[in-house]
Amino acid sequence: MDLEITVDQLKERLASSTPPLLLDVREPWEYETASIDGSTLIPMGEIPGRAHQELDEEQPIAVLCHHGARSLSVANWLQQQGFEHAQSVRGGIDLWSQVIDSSVPRY
């Protein structure tokens, strides 16, 4: 499975009958500034302590951050931990705002 998906692929998957968990790994202040409805916030630094308690290894997970660097790191770590369906959203919420939903604020 590819480690990254595009914002267009994310939009399609979120609209499907079996959407992925949208995991936002930014900081709380970033999430409050701009977020995608239905996303779950677990800041990057809390992932190691919370992933195995709160995430399902079998569920597809789309990992989101501001531009895609943190989410790529988290998706890679998750895959190494057995979350085989974890993928990073390339370009992050910033690209989502530019390409998919301009109502999401850019910062």
Q: DSSP assignment of 27-77, as one string? A: -HHHHHHS--TT-EE--GGGHHHHHHHH--TTS-EEEE-SSSHHHHHHHHH
**95 given a catalytic annotation:** no
| Res. 67: pLDDT tops 90 | yes
Rg (CA), the chain: 12
Residue 32: per-residue pLDDT: 98
In a domain, 107, yes or no: no
In a domain, 44, yes or no: yes
Structural domain including 48 reads: 4-99
| Annotated catalytic residue, options 65, 72, 74, 75 | 65
The pair of three-digit structure tokens given for residue 22, joined into one six-digit string: 């949208």
% of the chain residues with pLDDT over 70: 100
In a domain, 46, yes or no: yes
CATH code (residue 10): 3.40.250.10
In a domain, 42, yes or no: yes
Domain count, the chain: 1
Helix, strand and coil percent figures for the chain, each rounded to 5: 40, 15, 45
pLDDT band at 66 (very low <50, low <70, confident <90, very high): very high
In a domain, 106, yes or no: no
Residue 86: per-residue pLDDT: 98
Alpha-carbon separation of residue 70 from 12, 27, 43, 66, 95 (angstroms): 22, 11, 10, 8, 14
